[in-house]
Amino acid sequence: MIALKDISYVRLGTRDLDGACRYANDILGLREGQRYGPPRHGRAVGFRSDAREQTLVYFDGDPADHTTGFELSSMAELQSAAAELERLGHAVREGRPDECEQRRVQAFIGFNDPSGNAIELAVAPFHSGVRFFPTRDTGNTGFSHVGLRSTDPARDERFWTTVLSAKVSDRIGAAPLLRIDEVHHKIALFPSAYAGVQHINHQVASIDDLMRAWYLLQSRGIRVVFGPGKHPTSGAMFLYFEGPDGMVYEFSSGVRMVTDPDAPPRQFPFHPTSFCMWGSVPDIPEFR
């Protein structure tokens, strides 16, 4: 089994790199890290949300091109992960030196999960050595999870929990919330007709940060698509809002820790009360 240590980064293509960077800076409150460009790189900009050099990268490219990176503990584990994935029939690509440089990692491999989500496994994502502070007072305490689209959640759950080391904390209908450490989930598999990242979550410190964000988003004309609300699953209060190229961002606060490694999965019905225990109604067709 391939042991995932942490979620590391999301890389998103965009046709409007400057606009996406403005959004990451002004709305998400993320801090610009490195900029990349020719001749060694395509144009890309990395953003920090914690002590790491980057956790979100926007690059010049197809807005449907989404990649999620996870950290592995060692080069030996990366090599055996590549062999295991190949043995199971997944095409594995080894990251070139210029790609490692842009990802700020020592080494990585890329492959697709069974739905076709682009996944990278990376060793030694670089730390900046300095603490993160947001560009405005968002209360952001760090990048925490992704919602990944899945064309067959039961099949993909099997992949993430048998080939990779994820465990099911909860299921809403067929859609699992998967943990790779004590945080309730770092991956939410999300039933969909196609692959891709559906949402990107950052944790914020308190409900004050969520409500401040809610007023700020309204004043900036940014569409709030769900919340303010509270997930009965993780116990986190949340706010989902629209970002560049239709990407959904989530701020949430108070995510539960699952300290018992053998805690059995809990089943929630596919019903609005399983998504929000306060009664907020999502403006996201797939959540209905």
Ligand X SMILES: CC(C)c1ccc(C(=O)O)c(O)c1O
Contact set with ligand X (CB under 6 A): 147, 177, 188, 190, 199, 201, 231, 233-234, 236, 250, 252, 275, 287
Asked if 101 contacts 46 with a C-beta cutoff of 8 angstroms, the reply is no
Asked if 68 contacts 119 with a C-beta cutoff of 8 angstroms, the reply is yes
Q: Which amino acid is located at 198 in the chain?
A: Q
2: DSSP letter? B
Distances (CA, A) of 77 to 56, 124, 165: 24, 12, 13
Count residues contacting Fe ion (CB under 5 A)?
Answer: 2
Based on the shown chain and the rule CB under 5 A, indicate whether residue 201 belongs to the binding site for Fe ion. yes
Q: Toward ligand X, which CB reaches closer, 46 or 176?
A: 176
Based on the shown chain and the rule CB under 5 A, indicate whether residue 250 belongs to the binding site for Fe ion. yes
CB of 35 to Fe ion, least distance (A): 29
CB of 185 to ligand X, least distance (A): 6
CB of 177 to Fe ion, least distance (A): 8
Q: Toward ligand X, which CB reaches closer, 82 or 213?
A: 213
Strands 224-230 and 56-60: unpaired
222: DSSP letter? P
Decide which of ligand X, Fe ion, none touches 275; Cβ closer than 5 to 8 Å per partner kind.
Answer: ligand X
Distances (CA, A) of 156 to 91, 129, 161, 171, 206: 17, 36, 8, 13, 33
CB of 198 to Fe ion, least distance (A): 9
User: Binding residues for Fe ion, per CB under 5 A?
Assistant: 201, 250
